[in-house]
Amino acid sequence: MEDKVLIIKAKRNEKMTAKVRKRVKKGFAPDEYRKVVNPNDFRSLALLFEDLDLIIGAPVEKAFREFKSKKDKGFPFF
């Protein structure tokens, strides 16, 4: 299975651009997936998660459960 990377670029409180590319050491890799997301719209974020699940098989539901359990215990990343 080839490695793919998710690249997200964002400006302050504006739209984010999410891209999925094949990982390469040298050279250019075209975008396999590209989506502009409004980070303040939960529907737009949900569509991004659905696409990640369908396109690259990302474990979105498992990641969200982990996020919720850590958030309930305190700060989500510690």
**Are the C-beta atoms of residues 32 and 55 closer than 8 Å to each other?**
yes
Range of the domain at 26: 4-73
> Half-sphere exposure of 64 toward its Cβ, with a 13 Å CA cutoff?
10
pLDDT at position 19 is: 92
12 occurs within a structural domain: yes
pLDDT value at position 17?
Answer: 92
Q: What is the pLDDT of residue 77?
A: 59
How many structural domains comprise the chain? 1
The per-residue pLDDT for 34 is 92
Does residue 62 lie in a domain region?
Answer: yes
Q: Which of 2, 8, 9 is nearest to 25 (CA)?
A: 2
* Average pLDDT per 10 consecutive residues for the chain, totaling 78 residues: 82 85 88 89 91 88 89 70
Q: Is residue 78 part of a domain?
A: no
Phi, psi of 4 (to 5 degrees): -125, 150
pTM for the whole thing? 0.73
Q: For residue 57, is it within any domain? A: yes
